[in-house]
């Protein structure tokens, strides 16, 4: 399941990061690695607010679709 399909407030584990090289590299700089925990905080105006480690980030739908969850 992609992050864009996840329910708000649930702690999940990243299974894989797909997509173009540019998107994968950017997500890795945010800490989105295979095996890392991620929480979908909310969806506001097409932006997905996520918590990775001790930080919160806003990513767009295309990036949320690139993050596959266990």
What is the pLDDT averaged over residues 31-49? 95
As for how many domains the chain has, the answer is: 1
What is the pLDDT averaged over residues 25-52? 95
CB 24 within 8 A of CB 66: yes
CB burial of 8-46 (b: ≥16 within 10 Å; e: otherwise) equals: eeeebebeebebeeebbebbeebbbeeebebebeeeeee
pLDDT tens figures, 9-37: 999 999 999 999 999 999 999 999 999 99
Diameter of the chain measured on Cα atoms:
28
Q: Report the pLDDT value the prediction gives residue 1, as an integer from 0 to 100.
A: 94
Residue 26 sits in which domain range? 3-69
CATH of the domain at 50: 2.30.30.90
Q: What is the distance, to the nearest Å, from the Cα of residue 64 to the centroid of all Cα atoms in its chain?
A: 5
């Amino acid at each position: 399941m992609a992050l864009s399909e996840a329910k708000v407030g649930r702690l999940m584990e990243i299974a894989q990061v797909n997509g173009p090289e540019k998107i994968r590299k950017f997500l890795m700089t945010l800490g989105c690695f295979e095996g890392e925990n991620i929480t979908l905080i909310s969806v506001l105006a097409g932006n997905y607010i996520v918590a990775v480690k001790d930080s919160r980030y806003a990513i767009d739908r295309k990036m949320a679709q690139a993050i596959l969850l266990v």
